[in-house]
Amino acid sequence: MATILILDDRQINREFLVTLLGYAGYHMLECADGAAALELTRAKRPDLIICDMVMPTMDGLEFAKALRGDKSIAHIPIIIYTAAFRTGEANALARSCGIAEVLTKPTEPEVILSTVSKVLGSAVGAPAPALVRDSVSRLLKRELANASTGRFR
Amino acid sequence: MQERYFYHCFPRRGGELPQAIEKGCQILTTIRDLGLVLMPEIIEWNQPSADGAPPRVFPVLQKRVCFTELNSDELPQHTEKFGQFALEFDTNTLRSLGAIPVFYIPQPTAKGDDGNALGVALLGIAMDANAIIQRLAYLD
């Protein structure tokens, strides 16, 4: 399963994406600032980076440029996940730095999942092993199976 | 008496019908692929201060999946607001899986000088306690 690095200075934003994408079975890494994220990227080689635009010390633009400037990690795709009022800047960054996609906060979870899947070029993975969720998932599959027998409402 | 079930309806903010159907199908695809997950959502709370100072703003990551107990006759009216896609579950099954009644916290008014501010004040205290416990766990 792919590894995804979340770069955002706000912990709750990282927690949101780690929770959501964790459900899809991705291996999640997180960082609060660009310099540390570059080090982590060199060490762990994630398959995708989801990056905020506005951050202290190193913003999304600087981070993307630094990444593209290092041949060993320059190939890693980046998704920008940024506040709505920064969309214009984010799109400009996307054009200049080869950003794969720009998502605007807040984005519906389904859109985030499908965008990540598209960028990674892979299907959404297996669910994480959480007891309640797995149980509900099994229940849902049973209910979907019942649809063919007319029990589904 | 009609039997009652738990219903999970979506998409709540689907927009006009063609968009709602597309969004509903997207959500159904996610449910098919991932299961019915506790979807995360960032809620920003504003705790008014008593002395007129700016409110304390703190975000909370809420993880939940919602079900409503209905009989099938009540479903059409419910779906008008909460979405035309509906998944039905046995109530006892969901309860055995940990489904609990919702606990609403009232949003305080702008002035915060009424009882509605109590909920967010308690939430703030709970968040502070959680932060302390997390830091203690980190030290340990």
pLDDT tens per residue across span A70-89 = 999 999 999 989 886 566 76
Q: B42 and A16 in contact by Cβ < 8 A?
A: yes
Q: What is the pLDDT of residue B112?
A: 58
User: Do A108 and A83 sit in the same domain of this protein?
Assistant: yes
Q: pLDDT at residue A125 above 50?
A: no
Maximal C-alpha separation, chain A: 59
pLDDT-based confidence at residue A135 (cuts at 50, 70, 90):
very low
Angle between helices B17-34 and A109-120 (to 10 degrees): 60
Q: A108 and B23 in contact by Cβ < 8 A?
A: yes
Q: What is the pLDDT of residue A124?
A: 42
| Residues of A in Cβ contact (< 8 Å) with B88 | 143, 152-153
Q: pLDDT at residue A144 above 50?
A: no
The parent domain of residue A139 ranges over 126-153
**Residues 51..90 of B with a Cβ closer than 8 Å to A: which?**
59-61, 63, 65, 72, 75, 86-89
**For every one of its 140 residues, what pLDDT tens digit does chain B have, with 9 covering 90 and above?**
789 999 999 998 767 888 889 999 989 998 998 889 899 999 988 888 777 788 888 899 999 999 999 999 999 999 999 999 999 999 999 999 999 998 888 877 766 566 778 888 899 999 999 989 999 998 87
CATH of residue A75's domain is: 3.40.50.2300
| Residues of B in Cβ contact (< 8 Å) with A109 | 30, 39-40
Task: Say yes or no: B40 contacts chain A, CB-CB below 8 A.
Answer: yes
| Residues of A in Cβ contact (< 8 Å) with B97 | 132, 135-136, 139
Helix (H, G, I), strand (E, B) or coil at A51: strand
Residues 6+ apart with CB under 8 A from A107: A81
Interface probe with A: pick from B34, B74, B88, most Cβ of A within 10 Å: B34
User: Do A113 and A145 sit in the same domain of this protein?
Assistant: no
Q: B37 and A133 in contact by Cβ < 8 A?
A: yes
Q: pLDDT at residue A145 above 60?
A: no
User: Do A141 and A84 sit in the same domain of this protein?
Assistant: no
Mean pLDDT across A33-42: 95
The parent domain of residue B106 ranges over 5-139
**Domain total of chain B:** 1
Rounded CA gap, A1 and A44, in Å?
A: 14
CA dist B81 → B9, B12, B15, B78 (Å): 9, 7, 11, 6
User: Do A97 and A140 sit in the same domain of this protein?
Assistant: no
| Residues of B in Cβ contact (< 8 Å) with A136 | 35-36, 65, 94, 97
| Residues of A in Cβ contact (< 8 Å) with B61 | 12, 15-16, 19
Instruction: Say if CB A50 and CB A76 are below 8 A apart.
Output: no
Q: pLDDT at residue A129 above 80?
A: no
CA angle A20, B65, B12 (to 5 degrees): 95
**Domain total of chain A:** 2
Q: A153 and B97 in contact by Cβ < 8 A?
A: no
Q: pLDDT at residue A148 above 50?
A: no
For residue B43, the chain A residue with the least C-alpha distance is A12
Helix ranges, chain A (H): 11-23, 34-44, 60-68, 87-97, 109-120, 131-146
Q: How distant is the Cα of A84 from the closest Cα of chain B, in angstroms?
A: 15
Count Cβ atoms within 10 A of the Cβ of residue B2 and give its class: 0-12 exposed, 13-18 middle, 19 or more buried: exposed
Interface probe with B: pick from A1, A107, A136, most Cβ of B within 10 Å: A136
**A103 vs A91, more confident:** A103
User: Do A44 and A88 sit in the same domain of this protein?
Assistant: yes
Task: Say yes or no: B117 contacts chain A, CB-CB below 8 A.
Answer: no
User: Do A114 and A133 sit in the same domain of this protein?
Assistant: no
Q: pLDDT at residue A23 above 90?
A: yes
User: Do A94 and A149 sit in the same domain of this protein?
Assistant: no
Q: What is the pLDDT of residue A9?
A: 94
C-beta neighbour count of B61 within 10 angstroms: 16
User: Do A41 and A107 sit in the same domain of this protein?
Assistant: yes
